[in-house]
Amino acid sequence: MDYWHHVKQHHEAWDHFVNRIEADLYFFQEARPTDVLLEQRGHILWNEIGGKRNWGSGIYSQEYELLEEKIESQFEGVFSVGKTLIGTVPITLVSLYGLMESSGPTQGYSINNLHRMLSDLTGLFNGHIGGKRNLIMGGDFNASTQLDPLQNNNSHKILFDRIDDFGLKDVFRLSGNTSHVQTLRHARSAQPWQNDYFYISESLAGRFIKCDIIDDARTRLFSDHNVVTVDLDL
C-alpha cells in the first residue's frame, strides 16, 4: 500500500480497500493498519518490520477469524502467517513482501532476502510443520523474471522455480496467462512490471475460479500497485 508515500491518505486508502473492494480475505504489504482495524482482534494479523520501518505485512478479514502462526525467522513483519477456517476448509495464509536491502553490496536487491524467506518457510510448505496444508501465499514480491536480463543472472527464475517445486500454483498461470501481467506502475519506467503474485497449494487448485487486476482511478490515488483479486470456491 506504499504507506510512507500516502500517509496523509492513510484512512481514506483503508476505507477504499476494505469497504469498496469486496473480499473475504485481504493480503496487504507496505502497510500500517488504522487503530480501528487493529482493535478488531482475531480478525487482523500484522507485524511491523521495525528499525527504520513502521509498516509491514498482514492479513485482514471482516468475516473470518484469523489465528497468527509464528515461524522462526529474522523476517518478522516482512511476512505474516495466519490460519483460518472457511466452512470446513482450513486455510493457511502467507502475506509476503520482497524486502529490499537498504545498504551493503546488495543494496536495492530483494532477491537475496526472498530466497532466505523461502528457506525459512520450507517446513511450512513441505508439510514438516503441522502437516500438509491448504495454503494461499500472496504479496508484493519485488521480484520478476523481467529483472534477470538486467541483473545478468537467473536468480529470479530460480526463485519462482523454488516456489513451483513446493507444488504451489501460480494463479495467473491457472488463469491461462503465459506472460507477465502488469501489477506495478513505476514512475520512472514505462515497462509493464509484474511483481505481485498469488500462489495456492495443489489441494486448492481445483477450487480456483479466476483472478483479476483492478487498475482504476481510485486505486491509483493510494498506491503504485494495482489490486489483485483471486476467486476460490470454498
- pLDDT of 221: 84
* Distances in whole angstroms, Cα of residue 31 to Cα of each of 34, 101, 140: 10, 18, 11
Secondary structure class of 86 (helix, strand, coil): strand
Q: What pLDDT, in 10s, does the model give residues 190-220?
A: 788 899 999 999 999 999 999 999 998 888 8
CA-based nearest residue to 205, from 140, 135, 138: 135
Cα angle value 14/16/17 (rounded, 5°): 65
**Do residues 30 and 55 make contact, with C-beta atoms less than 8 angstroms apart?**
yes
Would the pTM of this model clear 0.85, i.e. be above it?
yes
Least confident interval from 29-33, 86-90, 180-184: 180-184
- Residues 196, 174: Cα–Cα separation, whole Å: 15
pLDDT digits (tens, 9 = 90+) for 110-122: 899 999 999 999 9
CA dist 214 to 66, 90, 162, 227, 233, Å? 25, 28, 28, 5, 20
- Residue ranges per domain, the chain? 3-232
Write down the mean pLDDT value for the chain: 91
Using one digit for the tens of pLDDT, what is the confidence trace for 175-197? 998 889 888 888 777 788 899 99
Sign of the Cα torsion 194, 199, 204, 206 reads positive
Tally of CA atoms within 13 A in the half-sphere of 65 that contains its CB: 4
Phi, psi of 94 (to 5 degrees): -130, 115
Query: Among residues 55, 72, 182, 170, which one has the least CA distance to residue 122?
Result: 72
Distances (CA, A) of 122 to 89, 153, 162: 22, 24, 10
Specify the fold of 3-232: Deoxyribonuclease I; Chain A (3.60.10)
Angle, CA of 64, 69 and 71, to the nearest 5°: 150
- Per-residue b/e over 204-222, b at no fewer than 16 CB within 10 Å? beeebeebeeeeeeebeeb
